[in-house]
Amino acid sequence: MSGNINFNGWINDDGSENYKCRAWVNFNGTGTVAIRASGNVSSITDNGTGDYTVNFTTAMTDVNFTAIGVGGDGGNGVRSMGATTYTASLFRFPVRNLDNGLADPVFMNVTIFR
């Protein structure tokens, strides 16, 4: 593969771009929130049951990024992620269980692409 790497991803020889993940985090959302592993995430803020903020170490270039997330309780319970706030320095989102109630996930994974 040839080209130059930059913060957005790879710039190919023909000028086209291949975008990469700009931030990611795997965390425990129960009790005291704990990050298991992450990239470009400085911290997680617990705003209440099923309400979290991912704080970026290095800000995004703008607010036009995509956040993808999935969570679970370690058993059969699935958690889905919504979106409430996008800024260059953070992403805030609710986590809901199958009956649409807010819930704290045991496992939560979020990736940010731009």
Is 7 within 8 Å of 17 (Cβ atoms)? no
Domain spans of the chain, in order of start: 23-113
The CA-based angle 82-61-88, given to 5 degrees, is 45
Task: Kindly tell me if the per-residue pLDDT of 8 is higher than 60.
Answer: no
The sign of the dihedral angle between the CA atoms of 43, 47, 49, 50 is negative
**pLDDT by residue (tens digit) across 32-60?**
999 999 999 999 999 999 999 999 999 99
pLDDT in tens, 13-39: 676 666 788 999 999 999 999 999 999
The structure's pTM equals 0.83
pLDDT band per the 50, 70, 90 thresholds, residue 9: low
